[in-house]
Structure 1
Amino acid sequence: MKCNRRSLAVAVLVSVLGAGACSAPRESEPPRLRVEVIGSSPHDPRAFTQGLEVVDGVLYESTGMWGVSSARATDLATGTETARVGLPGRLFGEGMTRAGSIVWQLTWQDGFAIARDPSTLAELRRVEYAGEGWGLCAQPERLVMSDGTGTLTFRDRVSFEQIGSVTLSGYRDPQPNELDCAPDGTVYANNYPSDEILHIDPQSGEILAVIDAAGLLTPAERAGTDVLNGIAGLGGDRFLVTGKYWPRMFEVRFVGN
């Protein structure tokens, strides 16, 4: 840090009292939690998971990579896939969420979101936006979107128009990726490219907790995979989590150390 005159004067004073000169007060770190595994199920190891959400017993998943991106819907109880559509051309799929009668799917650097039918996942229309698309989740009155920076953007559930934003605070270099909007109004986010999940208050931007989700896959399973990405609330304190090219999906709770 650079010392201005005021901070220098304070530094002299605290030095006399025995403290380090020009030391700045440190923000307290948010609480750290860990995952407790309840169970696991197979996951498509070819799926570069970008979005994951459970609504009314349907697991919605968006996958990325050029030429093979997709939107998928699966009956959670039976594991039967009920719909799948590929993105045309070389579009790169990103986050996905259901907002009432619309399933929204982001594209990474293609500059638009795709509105889809929630049953068939057929494309209904496209809406342009500026910047990159990463994660997306739906609250009752708005959508919450990430672009890999420390800012979350709020959007209208129907028009996709930007209606606000918030800057994250209280933790070093947050890079929120896939998002899950919890019933209590908070948001969970995969923190790219780590094994961390951030618990966020989207009203203030404060990071409420950091969840360590490392070690879910065995070393053999982790070979050839990519980062943790994909979090979907199941109700209560249970969540589904997975990652890009992961062979398994895990049902977990977030608990204290």
Structure 2
Amino acid sequence: MPVALLLVLVLVLAACGVATPAPGAAAGSVPVVRPEVLAEIPHDPAAFTQGLELHDGVLHEGTGLVGESEIRALDPDTGEVRAAAPLPPAYFGEGITVVGDTIWQLTWRDGVALEWDRQTLTLRREVPIDGEGWGLCLADDGRVVRSDGTDRLRFHEPADLAETGSVAVTRDGAPQRQLNELECVGDRVWANVWHSDEIVRIDPGTGVVDLVVDASGLLDPARRRDADVLNGIAHVTGDEYLLTGKLWPATFRVRLAPPGPVRPAG
């Protein structure tokens, strides 16, 4: 179609009140939201954050790297480390979740998950896990959900992390890979996407991504130079969350306002 005729057609459609797509917009694409920053809280810049979860007024954090991995209890308002326990020195810590009086913590490629006493941060036992461990969260149906860096969410029994099934995750019909740290809220699973500033919201029943959070620029460029990737999401209340990253000097309390209704937790 000649350019002049195409321009006339666009103008006619606009005059008639018919919406025209923005340049580069894809039909049926997943909605994207930006976090609204409510507050900034100090975060240990030496913490290689792998898991983050707020429970009963305590912010639990799992950190990684061989010889440096820890399970921690933080003050959610100040970022102060209240207590910490090291992992066995050969282990590379990954995601965490709270199940009753237990904190489960994954290891990356060590083939085990660690069960900690939530109150004392005492290691109780190790259980076997097939494949890699990345993110972990407790769904409202009682299942523990795990990511392993692929496009799958895996489901586990909360008592011993025995695997019970999995679902493939898709975004606009394509596999969504590199699923990392997880947070279960209501009937959805939120997942950091490794090597990106994105968080995706997933329906664990279908594996479909129905919302994307674009958190680019959350940490200013000057401080980002010495930091690693966005990785850490903890639900606070309603549509408020805590977001941080590996080696980040700050945690951000943000509002994520989804454009559609989601059944609330509980």
TM-score normalised according to structure 1 size: 0.86
Alignment-mate amino acid for residue 66 of structure 2: W
Query: Counterpart of 2:200?
Result: 198
- Residues 112/131 of structure 1: CA separation in 2 closer, same or farther (3 Å cut): same
Q: What displacement does 1:173 show?
A: 4.5
- For structure 1, the residue ranges without an aligned partner over 5 or more in a row are 1-25
**In the alignment, is the contact (CA less than 8 A) between 1:43 and 1:248 conserved in 2?**
yes
1:189-220 Cα deviation digits (max 9, x unpaired) = 00111000001101110101111000011111
Pick one of 172, 177, 180 that aligns with 1:177: 180
In the alignment, is residue 213 of structure 1 matched against residue 215 of structure 2? yes
- For structure 2, the residue ranges without an aligned partner over 5 or more in a row are 1-25, 260-266
Larger mean Cα displacement after TM superposition, 170-179 or 206-215:
170-179
Query: Counterpart of 2:162?
Result: 161
Aligned counterparts of 1:64 and 1:139: Cα–Cα separation in 2:
23
- State the Cα RMSD in Å: 1.6
Query: Counterpart of 1:146?
Result: 147
Q: What displacement does 1:90 show?
A: 2.1
Q: What displacement does 1:256 show?
A: 6.7
Query: Counterpart of 1:7?
Result: none
Query: Counterpart of 2:244?
Result: 242
Query: Counterpart of 1:227?
Result: 229
Q: What displacement does 1:254 show?
A: 1.6
Q: SS of the counterpart of 1:220?
A: helix
Aligned counterparts of 2:78 and 2:36: Cα–Cα separation in 1:
24
1:110-163 Cα deviation digits (max 9, x unpaired) = 000000000111110110011100000012411000001000000011111001
- Residues 256/103 of structure 1: CA separation in 2 closer, same or farther (3 Å cut): closer
Q: What displacement does 1:222 show?
A: 0.5
- Residues 56/28 of structure 1: CA separation in 2 closer, same or farther (3 Å cut): same
Q: What are the residue-to-residue correspondences of 1:12-23 with 2, within 5 Å?
A: none
1:221-256 Cα deviation digits (max 9, x unpaired) = 101111000000001010000000000000001247
Query: Counterpart of 2:58?
Result: 58
**In the alignment, is the contact (CA less than 8 A) between 2:211 and 2:258 conserved in 1?**
no
- Residues 215/77 of structure 1: CA separation in 2 closer, same or farther (3 Å cut): closer
Q: What displacement does 1:79 show?
A: 4.5
* Count of matched residue positions in the alignment of Structure 1 and Structure 2: 231
- Residues 143/208 of structure 1: CA separation in 2 closer, same or farther (3 Å cut): same
Aligned counterparts of 1:78 and 1:218: Cα–Cα separation in 2:
20
Q: SS of the counterpart of 1:221?
A: helix
Report % sequence identity: 48
Q: What displacement does 1:170 show?
A: 2.5
Aligned counterparts of 2:224 and 2:205: Cα–Cα separation in 1:
36
Aligned counterparts of 1:213 and 1:126: Cα–Cα separation in 2:
35
Aligned counterparts of 1:33 and 1:246: Cα–Cα separation in 2:
22
